[in-house]
Amino acid sequence: MASLGSRLQHSITPFALRSYLAEFISTFIFVFAAVGSTMASRRMMVDAAPADSSSLVANAVATAFALSVAVYISANISGGHVNPAVTFGMAIGGHISVPMTIFYWIVQMLGSVMACLLLKTITISKHVPVHGIAEEMTGFGAAILEGVMTFALVYTVYAASDPKKGPTGAIGPLAIGLIAGANVLASGPFTGGSMNPACSFGAAVVGGRFKNHAVYWVGPLIGGAVAGIIYDNVVFPAELRGVPEGLGGV
């Protein structure tokens, strides 16, 4: 009980509250840009019309740039997760407590909903695009695809967090954005390339469509967890680091 109480107390300190605010802002910025670019391209929506190559590239570039910036601006405060799957992967590795993980999820989803709601309000005639799977995809296959992409994303986050990188670690946010953009190019026509349960949740809430929504939670959370386990226990275990483990992030 004492341990649980101390963890709960740790999750409501001024530093923790600043971390939640940073996650809310960075997630809002990312989702606003990523979903907004999809709306602007008009034909990127998986659940409406097939995406042409120009729409796909535009969405991938917007995702890469927005995620790089979102991670960069919050990295020194909250760790720059911007994604419940990243937070879950960090929690599996013991870099963030369970209570803080829950609060991170809440503010990330809230930031996503607010971004999608703003997009819906200011565009008026356009509806917010909701992630959906292509007709040729099964839910199981889509979950695997989302899981593999999220594995790559979270593994990159772990690698970018390596304290031994020194000055070269500054390019970490860019690497994270680039892998996300590449994954969108690879999977956009099939699942929409979410890799982010919060982004999918916000769009589903405002767009009013939750069909196959579990795909965008199950796949990314499993992928994030596997990435955390492999990196922290096989590729680069704690005893090789020689530094104390902290909150986690970039």
Residue type, 43: R
d(CA 51, CA 45): 7
d(CA 24, CA 18): 10
The confidence score (pLDDT) of residue 184 equals 94
The confidence score (pLDDT) of residue 166 equals 57
Is the CATH number 1.20.1080.10 carried by domain 8-238? yes
The confidence score (pLDDT) of residue 163 equals 62
The overall average pLDDT reported for the chain is 86
Q: Tens-of-pLDDT digits for all 250 residues of the chain? A: 546 566 677 788 889 999 999 999 999 999 999 999 988 876 444 444 445 677 889 899 999 999 999 999 999 999 999 999 999 999 998 889 999 999 999 999 999 999 999 999 998 767 888 999 988 889 999 999 999 999 999 999 999 876 666 555 678 999 999 999 999 999 888 999 999 999 999 999 999 999 999 999 999 999 999 999 999 888 877 666 554 444 444 4
What's phi and psi for 228, nearest 5 deg? Answer: -65, -45
In order, the DSSP letters of 66-131 are HHHHHHHHHTTTT----SHHHHHHHHHTTSS-HHHHHHHHHHHHHHHHHHHHHHHHHHSSSPPP--
d(CA 217, CA 63): 19
CA distances from 97 to 25, 68, 174 (A): 21, 25, 26
Residues 111-170 pLDDT 10s: 999 999 999 999 876 788 899 998 888 999 999 999 999 999 999 999 987 666 655 567
d(CA 42, CA 73): 29
* Domain definitions of the chain by residue range: 8-238
Burial 44-55 (b: 16+ CB within 10 A, else e): bbbeeeebeeeb
d(CA 192, CA 101): 26
The confidence score (pLDDT) of residue 136 equals 85
- Tell me if the pTM is above 0.85: yes
